[in-house]
């Protein structure tokens, strides 16, 4: 069984959580993963470690919803993952430099001028 965790920084703003939940629902509809969860690394609930520990999936992919591989991506998330022993965990690169982010930037302009 494979699971996905969308890991965000976290924020006091509920809008941040809403965006992660939106991505979660979209991905769930694809049926690619037995579980799709969101988690927060810095601020907010649920924290990443608890989410991973609570998941039933044996293989878990963590996709950091970050713009670059800074402290949380290169140090904090791997540190959390090292504490989990009973699951196979894969940490993906952050989404920031993905070509689809470039298209999303252009798409925002098209949405504005339509």
List the catalytic residues: 9
Q: Tell me the C-alpha distance between 45 and 114, whole Å.
A: 37
Alpha-carbon distance of 29 to 48, in angstroms, equals: 22
Is the Cβ–Cβ distance between 6 and 24 less than 8 Å?
yes
């Amino acid at each position: 069984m494979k699971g996905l965790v969308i890991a965000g920084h976290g924020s006091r703003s509920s809008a941040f959580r809403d965006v992660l939940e939106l991505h979660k629902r979209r991905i769930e509809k694809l049926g690619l993963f037995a579980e799709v969860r969101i988690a927060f690394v810095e601020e907010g609930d649920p924290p990443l470690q608890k989410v991973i520990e609570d998941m039933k999936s044996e293989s878990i992919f963590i996709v950091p919803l970050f713009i670059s591989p800074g402290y949380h991506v290169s140090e904090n998330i791997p540190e959390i993952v090292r504490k989990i022993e009973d699951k196979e965990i894969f940490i993906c690169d952050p989404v920031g430099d993905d070509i689809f982010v470039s298209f999303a930037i252009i798409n925002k302009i098209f949405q504005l001028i339509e």
